[in-house]
Chains A and B, each alone.
Chain A
Amino acid sequence: MRANLRRLGGVACVAAVLAAIVASFAYLAVDFRGLFTAEGRHAMARFVAEFFPPDVSAGFLRRAGFAALQTLAVSILGTLIAAAAGGLLALPAAGRLGATAKWGARFVLSFLRSMPELVWAALMVLAAGLGPFAGTLALALHTTGVLGRLFAESLENAAPAPEAALRELGAGPVARFVYGTLPQVAPQCVGYALYRWEMNIRMATILGVVGAGGLGQMLYFHLSLFQQAQAATVLAAMIVLVVASDTLSGRVRRALSAQSH
């Protein structure tokens, strides 16, 4: 009897999902047919063709290179700030400063995390003006929410015995934490930070679209002027940056796993 009800529930869900999909297409009333007419296809083909050949003049390559470095700097700085701020907030969020502080810290972290980076970037452009600083702030704010929560979970899972033993020999709270808990959670937390940095590089390239500098701003600029050749170069730079940083972070991760204190 229960098995039948379950199956019925499953079928009902599948039906609901299919209905939702159909409703979505209907609501959007997107005329995809326009894409597939001969005219539509020619327009698309022309659009794509204008990306090739990409602009590889020395001057433009230098600007794209600079923008790439700027994007990289934004991602590194933003992640570093977030690791520090997240670490600070993780302590109350793990319950080390009392129950009210715990709920307060968790609420703040949750709020920071829920807002997409792009929204933060748009807000930060208001607060700090156009340019990469807004991007750094946006990444820092969002990533603090993410890392803070991950760090807090690590802290809660750490064994309490080392710190308890240090308390017994009269160590103060900060020294206890550094010698007792930090060695336990450090490798995992650094891993989280590196992983977030990999994602933040991708994010940093995008944030420029709302004015936060770097490759994103260049892309938006050239696409707005329908300069596809330049846009193609910027896109290529984006891909190169992401691939290169993935490799680098893989190496750093392996090196750090052999670290010790």
Chain B
Amino acid sequence: MTAAAALRPELRDPLARRRLGWAIAAGVALWPLLRLSEFHPATLLAPANLHVMATFVAGFLPPSTEREFLGLLLAATLQTLAMATAGMALAFVVALPLALAATRSLSIAAVGPADGRWRGQGIRQGVRALMVLLRSVPEVVWALMFVRALGLGPAAGVLALAITYGGMLAKVYAEILESADARPARALLAAGSGRVGALCFGLLPLAAQELVSYTVYRWECAVRAAVVMGFVGAGGLGQLLDQSLKMLSGGEVSSIALVFLALVFLADAISLVLRKVLA
């Protein structure tokens, strides 16, 4: 019996207090969370909302096949695809010099004695900061601002894609280039070639497959992003969807949704093929 009493302090679970603490903290934090986000599941069942949703959802079938609408749908789809492709092309143009500037492998200063060393480092950090900034603001926000500046239409979407995806591509390009074997490039730099030459003949052949693969994957994401940006006025499927939603025409919405799903599927397939062939 005394042995059992002596055992008691060893039987206390060391994690018990911590777990209780977390449980209480979670409980305490839950109430303000629910209030702040105006969490009222009952509104879903409010008769007015329910009626609107019910009629809307009832309109989903059959999907709209009205001739004029189908014409709009085709044009919008092409516009979305064009927006994504053009945006990615520009993003590529933006990303390449940024990635070049940020890659240490191509730093001439690292090869041999050169007085630009700290300045080179400063430029690299500056470029990286710029890339982070470009990436932090969501593309929809850029699209919103460009729509304000340039008016409705795909131009805003193309520019927004160019900027945000340019930043994203630049970061990943820099990472890929840095992780590739730097020796051929360094050898070229030491032999006196310029940065561009070192890139083309030194780094690029090694890194090309990964670069292409990531770019094509990003294009696929760009197609989806283009639809989303259409919601804020950048044209394409997104804008059409926004209009149909506002008019509560369920048939049109379901047609657009089907086309969107098909488009995403198509983009996925194209991306797979391209990655296999271009690699």
Mark A residues whose CB is within 8 Å of B: 6, 9-10, 13-14, 17, 20-21, 23-25, 27-28, 30-32, 35, 43-44, 47, 69-70, 72-74, 76-77, 114-116, 118-119, 122-123, 126-129, 131-133, 135-136, 202, 205-206, 209-210, 213, 219-220, 223, 226, 231, 235, 238-239, 242-243, 260
Q: Is the CB of B137 within 8 A of A10?
A: no
- The 21 sampled A-B contact pairs (Cβ below 8 Å) are A24-B85, A24-B86, A28-B155, A30-B86, A30-B153, A30-B158, A118-B228, A118-B231, A123-B245, A126-B52, A127-B44, A127-B53, A131-B38, A132-B36, A133-B43, A202-B138, A209-B232, A219-B141, A220-B232, A223-B144, A235-B137
Residues of chain B within 8 A (CB-CB) of A114 are 261, 264
Q: Is the CB of A219 within 8 A of B158?
A: no
Contact string against A for B residues 231-253, beta-carbon threshold 8 Å, 1 for contact and 0 otherwise: 11000001001100100100000
- Which residue of the partner chain, among B33, B83, B231, B242, contacts A73 with CB atoms under 8 Å? B33
Starting from the known contacts A119-B241, A136-B39, 16 additional A-B residue pairs (CB-CB under 8 Å) come to A30-B155, A47-B148, A73-B32, A77-B39, A118-B140, A126-B52, A126-B248, A128-B44, A131-B38, A132-B36, A133-B37, A133-B38, A206-B138, A206-B140, A223-B144, A231-B145
B277 contacts chain A at the CB level, 8 A cutoff: yes
Bound Cα distance from A17 to B212, whole angstroms? 12
B118 to chain A, nearest CB (A): 27
| Nearest neighbor of B53 in chain A, beta-carbon distance | A127
B56 contacts chain A at the CB level, 8 A cutoff: yes
B6 contacts chain A at the CB level, 8 A cutoff: no
Mark B residues whose CB is within 8 Å of A: 15, 32-34, 36-40, 43-44, 49, 52-53, 56, 78-79, 81-83, 85-86, 89, 136-138, 140-141, 144-145, 148-150, 153-155, 158, 224, 227-228, 231-232, 238, 241-242, 245, 248, 257, 261, 264, 274, 277-278
Q: Is the CB of B53 within 8 A of A126?
A: yes
Q: Is the CB of B137 within 8 A of A239?
A: yes
| Nearest neighbor of A74 in chain B, beta-carbon distance | B37
| Nearest neighbor of A125 in chain B, beta-carbon distance | B245
Q: Is the CB of A133 within 8 A of B39?
A: yes
B163 to chain A, nearest CB (A): 13
- Which residue of the partner chain, among B136, B145, B154, B278, contacts A30 with CB atoms under 8 Å? B154
Task: Using A23-B82, A30-B154, A73-B33 as known contacts, say yes or no to A129 and B43 having CB atoms under 8 A apart.
Answer: yes
Residues of chain A within 8 A (CB-CB) of B141 are 205-206, 219, 235, 238
Bound Cα distance from A127 to B36, whole angstroms? 19
Task: Using A21-B89, A30-B158, A235-B137 as known contacts, say yes or no to A219 and B33 having CB atoms under 8 A apart.
Answer: no
Residues of chain B within 8 A (CB-CB) of A135 are 37
Residues of chain B within 8 A (CB-CB) of A213 are 37-38
B263 to chain A, nearest CB (A): 11
| Nearest neighbor of A124 in chain B, beta-carbon distance | B44
Bound Cα distance from A136 to B228, whole angstroms? 18
Residues of chain A within 8 A (CB-CB) of B38 are 131-133, 213
Q: Is the CB of A73 within 8 A of B36?
A: yes
| Nearest neighbor of B246 in chain A, beta-carbon distance | A122
A32 to chain B, nearest CB (A): 7
Q: Is the CB of B36 within 8 A of A219?
A: no
Q: Is the CB of B224 within 8 A of A116?
A: yes
Q: Is the CB of A242 within 8 A of B136?
A: yes
Bound Cα distance from A233 to B43, whole angstroms? 32
| Nearest neighbor of B156 in chain A, beta-carbon distance | A30
Residues of chain A within 8 A (CB-CB) of B261 are 114
Q: Is the CB of B49 within 8 A of A21?
A: no
B34 to chain A, nearest CB (A): 7
